[in-house]
Chains A and B, each alone.
Chain A
């Protein structure tokens, strides 16, 4: 296989790397964001449940 790309290996392979790395970041970012959003939402719902039932102790909020 022609891995040297004539004298242009540096340019060709750097271009390929830029392409793959940028798109990999672009693929992973929304997946991580979705997970984070789900986690935050779960925490919010848990807080609301706690407020509805004041008997249960809450670790996040202090009720006056």
Chain B
């Protein structure tokens, strides 16, 4: 068993080390995300063939579905960080959880907005109170609640702990969002309406989708690390390492 892995993780738990690590990784993650995102967007909008049924309207899928995946993935990552933060009282984990929430909220908002833009021409409505749409809207409220709770405390640490607790409570909604289409379908008294078939997409349409998925994952890393760095400067402001950093940056400026 490699001993260096926990040691490395342990070191990363120290705010100055994480600050430097995040600063080193962020530009690469953002650059790669932009490159992959540009390729995926171009391929999705212009290269991939039109759908036999929906024509060009289906191209919203290349934004909508990766964003929807991210809205759940970020919640999962946030739950893990919140759990580690609450149980082991690791400050970095709390900060990672708290700074994940705005990114998750952004992706959830994109999911809802683009879904609405897709639903209007195809289904014939901007919005309907079905289980999937409703639970995704609830996900947005939970994200906003976490952000609000974190910032409503004067003591940041206290706010983070309270909000981390809310993260764990709100995690109940994640499987509801994911399985809502299946559960909802089985509630449909075995109708012949094929509401959900086996997910099937042709390869020429699949690869831009997967590329966009990779781009959004990298984007999350970049955005999260930028946020954690900003957060650490404020919350660790009194510590020696931030003061050192300040004088170093002044020298560079």
In the complex, is A directly touching B at CB under 8 Å?
yes
| Residue numbers in B under 8 Å from A7 (CB-CB) | 55, 121
Distance A19 CA – B198 CA, assembled complex (angstroms): 28
| Residue numbers in A under 8 Å from B250 (CB-CB) | 42
Residues A19 and B233 in contact, CB atoms below 8 Å apart = no
B113 CB within 8 Å of chain A: yes
A5-B56, A8-B56, A15-B60 given; A30·B113 CB < 8 A: no
Closest chain B residue to A25, Cβ basis: B106
Min Cβ gap B24→A in Å is: 15
Residues A16 and B41 in contact, CB atoms below 8 Å apart = yes
Distance A59 CA – B184 CA, assembled complex (angstroms): 65
Residues B234 and A18 in contact, CB atoms below 8 Å apart = no
Distance A28 CA – B30 CA, assembled complex (angstroms): 12
Residues B226 and A15 in contact, CB atoms below 8 Å apart = no
Tell me the B189-220 residues at the A interface (CB within 8 Å). Answer: 219
| Residue numbers in A under 8 Å from B249 (CB-CB) | 38
Residues B230 and A33 in contact, CB atoms below 8 Å apart = yes
Chain A interface mostly: helix
| Residue numbers in A under 8 Å from B243 (CB-CB) | 45
Residues B226 and A2 in contact, CB atoms below 8 Å apart = no
| Residue numbers in B under 8 Å from A11 (CB-CB) | 57, 60, 117-118, 120-121
A34-B230, A37-B230, A41-B246 given; A22·B106 CB < 8 A: yes
CB 8 Å contact bits of A11-46 with B (1 = contact, 0 = none): 110111011001101110111011001101110110
Residues B227 and A41 in contact, CB atoms below 8 Å apart = no
| Residue numbers in A under 8 Å from B148 (CB-CB) | none
In the complex, which of the residues B55, B223, B233 has the most CB atoms of chain A within 10 Å of its own CB atom?
Answer: B233
Interface residue ranges, B against A (CB under 8 Å): 30, 41, 45-46, 50, 55-57, 59-60, 63-64, 67, 99, 102-103, 106, 109-110, 113-114, 117-118, 120-121, 219, 222-223, 226-227, 229-230, 233-234, 237, 242-243, 246, 249-250
Q: List 9 A-B contacts (CB under 8 A).
A: A2-B45, A5-B56, A15-B64, A18-B110, A19-B67, A19-B110, A34-B229, A41-B246, A42-B246
